[in-house]
Amino acid sequence: MTGWRLADGGPVIPNFGHGSECLRDNGWLCTSWVRQHWGDILQPALVQHIELTLIAVGIGFAIAFLLALVGFRWRVFDPPLGAFTDILYTIPSIALYQLLVPVTGLTVTTIEIALVSYTLFVLYRNIVAGLRAVPPEVLESARGMGLTRRQTFLRVELPLAAPAILAGLRVATVATISIATVAAFLIYYGLGGPIFDALGQPDIFRTELLASGGLAILLALSADALLALLQRALTPWSRLR
């Protein structure tokens, strides 16, 4: 690599190339950059982002479901559990990382703990609300037909709550896709990496911002559409209404 040394006798400063004209002008979408860095920046970030989201929503749903069962079955626990998920949602990620890093380190686990705790807020409320919304006369008839408590829950309450639960899942998934960018405040992981990298330059790196931010938006839209389809497939009766 050719380079030059300044008169001050400092180090050799190599020639770093010129970059394309589009990049030097900070164009909105320099396709050459996108093609060049799809493999080493964009695609890995997208895959990591999907992984972050799936794990967060999966574990978040399992935990929220168990909490909601408790809050639904024993009403006294509902307000404190609701308040608990509210408080978790308000903790800034950087503050949470400060507490977690000495224990869980610079890992995906640390990020997932933050992301999972953010999903609980939406999921818990939706599941409880869905279960509560079952009309009393329906429960009355179920009892009249001789269904046990457990049978009533599995065959009546849960199916009737399913649309609300799935709606919660959709909101939580889309929200997590956007919140997962905070991973990049701890480790270079997910689409937050290139997004903050673009934002941190003196003049925003437009191509990188548009490419990585665009991927995040596309991911959110596709996840939403997919869950909408799942919702239709799992609750065919709701279409009759």
Contact positions vs other proteins (CB under 8 A)? 1, 3, 6, 8, 10-14, 16-19, 23-24, 33, 37, 40-41, 51, 54-55, 57-59, 61-62, 65, 94, 97-98, 101-102, 105-109, 112, 154-156, 158-159, 162, 184-188, 193, 196-197, 199-205, 207-208, 234-237
44 or 159, CB closer to other proteins? Answer: 159
Least gap, CB of 133 to other proteins (angstroms): 16
Which residues, 6+ apart, have CB-to-CB distance to 126 below 8 Å?
164, 165, 167, 168, 169, 171
Using a 10 angstrom Cβ sphere, with 0-12 exposed, 13-18 middle and 19 or more buried, the burial of residue 196 is middle
Which residues, 6+ apart, have CB-to-CB distance to 14 below 8 Å?
1, 2, 3
Least gap, CB of 220 to other proteins (angstroms): 18
135 or 236, CB closer to other proteins? Answer: 236
186 or 223, CB closer to other proteins? Answer: 186
- Cβ count near 112 (within 10 Å): 20
CA distance to 1, 42, 74, 143, per residue, from 235 (Å): 64, 36, 27, 23
Q: What residue has token string 């997932």?
A: 112
Longest dimension (CA), the chain: 95
Least gap, CB of 88 to other proteins (angstroms): 18
11 or 136, CB closer to other proteins? Answer: 11
Using a 10 angstrom Cβ sphere, with 0-12 exposed, 13-18 middle and 19 or more buried, the burial of residue 193 is buried
Least gap, CB of 121 to other proteins (angstroms): 18
Least gap, CB of 177 to other proteins (angstroms): 15
47 or 83, CB closer to other proteins? Answer: 47
